[in-house]
Structure 1
Amino acid sequence: MAEGWTTWEGLDVTVTETAKAQAVALPEIADPSKVAPKDARELSRLFFDQLATLDEGTPAYQYARNTLIEMNMSLVRFAAGRFRSRGAEEMEDIVQVGMIGLIKAIDRFEISREVEFTSFAVPYIVGEIKRFFRDTSWAVHVPRRLQEARILLAKATEELRTRLGRTPTPKELAALMSLSEEEVNEARLASNGYASSSLDAAITSSEDGESALADFIGTDDSALELVEDFHALAPLIAGLDDRERRIIHMRFVDELTQAQIGEHLGVSQMHVSRLLSRTLAKLRTGMLTTS
């Protein structure tokens, strides 16, 4: 195929005879993805102008469309940069999703609007990325209507908090969102299923090694170790006489002192001490026997 050389903003490009035959002055760019953003803006105007005159599905149309996609990939990288805190693996997904937004923008752009393509495309790209997060960041399956209600709830809460100077009530939120209070509460509950983290997720790194999320939440409950003892004690306490059970209850449930227990029973503190020691010895013996 015969080709003619030309120059565009310092770029060496060629114009194919096929393009000439269709009266389309489209430069053939060896690697559109390496076109500088400034040159891409100028070239994009030319390609969009000609794209509007081409028949969809023709080789010339596909060439123009594909070149526009590759030339404007920097817009996707720019938009994805907002989410650089994500892991490298997830960033690959973000860029791929952003490409979908770019393609949608190219297919819907009209040069007659006299709007810069970059201004038109970035909202499409970012919107597609945000939609990706909304659909994939749920720890449990949540219906789409509740996913969308969560977003509306967040916006309504912020608006009312700014307006009222306090946290809005479900009734106030329901009025603003045109929902019932039950639906507002349902959306709140649905938010609990959003973006949970694994307890094994590493969150810090130091000379001593990585620390997992589980290391920083919750504490060991020593009382759990007593559960088995409580179950073993229950029948032994049931076997005590009424006064012994009453003394145990006042001392360890009501947390009364021996003197206070003596006042309730009408005996001396010394006598309570002997009764308590004898009762505890009986329980201890029973525990050792049954263990």
Structure 2
Amino acid sequence: MKKNSKSHNDSSQELTEMTSKELFIKYQDGKDIHIRNELVRRYLYIVEILSKKYINKGIEYEDIYQVASLGLIYAIERFDPSKGFEFSSFATPTIIGEIKKHFRDKGWSIRVPRRIQELSKKINTCKNELHQKLQRTPTISDIAEYLNCSEEQIMEAMEGSQVYTPKSLDLTYDNDGEDKEMKFMDLIGEVDKNFDNIENKDFLDKVINKLNEVEKKVLRDRFFNNRTQMHVAEELQVSQMTVSRMEKKIIEKFQKEYKKTTV
């Protein structure tokens, strides 16, 4: 056991003493995982530098770092030292590509069509260009003309970009000089439950008016007064089975009318 441990340590020491070019050549020959690990260790600084450029962009740094590390491994796998390129120059666009791909696929809090995502990026780029060219904030019309799009497409993309980073409900705003700050959650409207109650009441009244007097009595006694089928049957002088069938028929009428309202 000690002999194997010593052999492993000697091998690790040998790898650390080799140049990066030698390691890449050796890795191409046998794809030794230990060599790849040594290369990853040497070039992790690139991952750290590039990952920090995307801090506070809507995705956790740890996630970006993991994606960038994966990009580094892809670069190591594809790098050919015989072509004379510096590995850092080869790896950088590969890592950035993986990070941007991750942002494109995961960065939007609500999934929007790819065309909107792509147009949103073009808008952000052209805003800066137009601002320098026009010496003022570009209008939607300016952007639409510059990108050869309609104003409706530009507005759709700009609205869609608002879901890229979700806003915290605890975000605070100044309340027109008042001492108390206002939270974002206070500005969000709520659905008035009374609207649903009114709609439900109108629906019930409409269907009930279509029932005959016996059906209305069964409905009222069974579902509003909580009387048993047996009590209703005795009062109507019919069998309990008849009351059960009437209930089923009433429910079917409600279902039929409900389907009409949802079509």
Q: Structure 1 length as normaliser, TM-score?
A: 0.49
- Where does residue 82 of structure 1 map in the other structure? 53
Map residues 44-83 of structure 1 onto 2, 5 A cutoff. Answer: 44-52=20-28, 54=29, 58=30, 60-83=31-54
- Where does residue 12 of structure 2 map in the other structure? 29
* C-alpha distance 121-145 of structure 1, shift in aligned 2 (>3 A): same
The one-letter code of the counterpart of 1:125 is I
Using the aligned pairs only, state the percent identity: 34
- Where does residue 92 of structure 2 map in the other structure? 122
Report the Cα offset of residue 148 of structure 1: 1.8
Following the alignment from structure 2 to structure 1, what is the Cα–Cα distance between the partners of residues 103 and 14? 31
- In structure 1, stretches of 5+ residues that fail to align are 6-11, 15-27, 204-213, 222-291
The one-letter code of the counterpart of 1:65 is R
The one-letter code of the counterpart of 2:24 is F
- Where does residue 130 of structure 2 map in the other structure? 160
**Deviation digits for residues 2-34 of structure 1, max 9, x if unmatched?**
99x9xxxxxx974xxxxxxxxxxxxx32698xx
Residue 169 of structure 2 contacts residue 184 of structure 2 at CA under 8 Å; is this kept in 1? Answer: no
Following the alignment from structure 1 to structure 2, what is the Cα–Cα distance between the partners of residues 164 and 154? 16
- The structure with higher relative contact order (CA 8 Å, sep 6+) is 2
The one-letter code of the counterpart of 2:93 is P
The one-letter code of the counterpart of 1:50 is K
Max Rg structure: 1
The one-letter code of the counterpart of 1:45 is K
Q: Structure 2 length as normaliser, TM-score?
A: 0.53
Identify the match of residue 189 of structure 1 among 159, 162, 178. Answer: 159
Following the alignment from structure 2 to structure 1, what is the Cα–Cα distance between the partners of residues 52 and 24? 26
More helix by share: 2
Q: Aligned residue pairs: how many?
A: 178
The one-letter code of the counterpart of 1:110 is D
- Where does residue 111 of structure 1 map in the other structure? 81
- In structure 2, stretches of 5+ residues that fail to align are 174-179, 188-263
